Amino acid sequence: MDKIEIYGGTPLKGTVHISGAKNAALPLLASSILVNDSVMFTNIPDLVDIKSICMLLQDLGAKVKRFKNSATDSNAENSGVEVDASSLNKIEAEYDLVRKMRASILVLGPLVARFGHARVSLPGGCAIGARPVDMHLKGLEALGAAISIEHGYIEAKAGKLKGNEIYFDLPTVTGTENLMMAATLAEGTTTLRNCAREPEIVALADALKAMGADITGAGTAVIRINGVNELHQAEIKVIPDRIEAGTFMVAAAATKGDVVVQNCDPEHMGGIINKLRQSGVVVENFENAVRVKCPGTMRGTDIKTLPYPGFPTDMQAQFMVLMAIAEGNSVIHETIFENRFMHVNELQRMGADISISGGNYAMVRGGRILSGAPVMASDLRASASLVIAGLVAEGMTTINRVYHIDRGYEAIEKKFSELGAQIRRC
């Protein structure tokens, strides 16, 4: 099993190019099910989760082809995936394929919308807490689907879905995406209220509109979809990964480096940029890039994870490392998931002074000097936090179970090496 070894203490310097967003690419690929033709997706990252959903689409009968514009072209923006779902011949997403990735639930809405029937295994993914799919199912029921759950599978049956008004008890990203996709082919108008507002949802709505859907309001709390009879071919470019960008920004600050993060959208990262600046980090915004420098002492700042546009839960673990070495104390309040402090024990092994209160509060006493140690990754973003900790620690850090990181970060050790880090996979 692969490990990542890091010899810390080197300030990161240079330029890093951010890949396409995993959390945008997954629903986009699932949306291809709605089209009885081919759809081209560019700027697709090379990740385990992308491979998993492509395998799922192939198992459903779609033709999936990965491509580069030329054999010598290494620019990720010019690579992508073409999905031809005209040959889909199966409505069941099996356990062996779905268990690896929670985002597999995103095929449920498109399958029901196009075929009137879907059978999808209850999903797996990172062990960061309960992420129920009940709002997905209630929404599909409101659109006219009959839902049953037996033997670990969700089964949804409908003739033709019919538009309705759906209210989410809480903003849900995948729930909003699933029902928005389902409603594109429903009869009449669907209104989704209390929607999630993430950039990835706007990107999905834009892609569906390029395929012929009639959608307004994406990026706000209310989305309206007027159903159409069919969708058509399109070419879609995946937006940059704001969490990968944020991870490199925090790593640059933690190592007291000077890094230009290219192919990112500063408008998508306001919560991250704001907290970095509160900590004393210099962040310069450009049209498609940010520059991060840490010229002096960093200071602790409190964090509360919130739905977008608040501070993202997917950046909580990385920011905790920064707070462990900054001056002063800080409190991190995790409000999205109830089991997302599993990285704390590993950071404590490296010398961080962190205590947990009430299950969702972490008190971080800053000013610590971290030391390298063998550690174990527990989930995707915890893996990233341990990489950052290794980059600032004295001596050698060995990170085990790095298969988690390959789910969401493309060539992370290569990108850090190009910024001067002493890091290798072995």
Task: State the catalytic residues.
Answer: 126
User: Which residues contribute to the annotated binding site for phosphoenolpyruvate?
Assistant: 22-23
For residues 10-40, b (16+ Cβ closer than 10 Å) or e, as one string?
bbbeeebbbbbbbbbbbbbbbbbbbbeebbb
What stretches of 265-352 adopt beta strand conformation (E)?
282-285, 289-293, 303-304, 329-333
Burial class (CB in 10 A: 0-12, 13-18, 19+), 145: buried
DSSP 311: B
CA 398, CA 126: separation in Å to the nearest integer? 21
Strand order in the sheet with 38-42: 63-68, 79-84, 38-42, 234-237
Local structure of 18: helix, strand or coil:
coil
Nearest one of 214, 226, 159, 231 to 188, comparing CA atoms:
226
CB 79 within 8 A of CB 28: no
CA 374, CA 393: separation in Å to the nearest integer? 12
CA 17, CA 261: separation in Å to the nearest integer? 6
CA 73, CA 333: separation in Å to the nearest integer? 43
Burial class (CB in 10 A: 0-12, 13-18, 19+), 1: exposed
Q: Which residues, other chains included, contact 211 with Cβ-Cβ below 8 Å and sequence gap of 6+?
A: 31, 34, 35, 39, 231, 232, 233, 234
- Which uninterrupted H or E stretch holds 157? strand 153-157
User: Which residues contribute to the annotated binding site for UDP-N-acetyl-alpha-D-glucosamine?
Assistant: 102, 314, 336
Per the rule left: phi > 0, alpha: psi between -120 and 50, beta: everything else, 411 is left
DSSP 242: H
Residue spans of alpha helices (H) in 255-284: 270-278
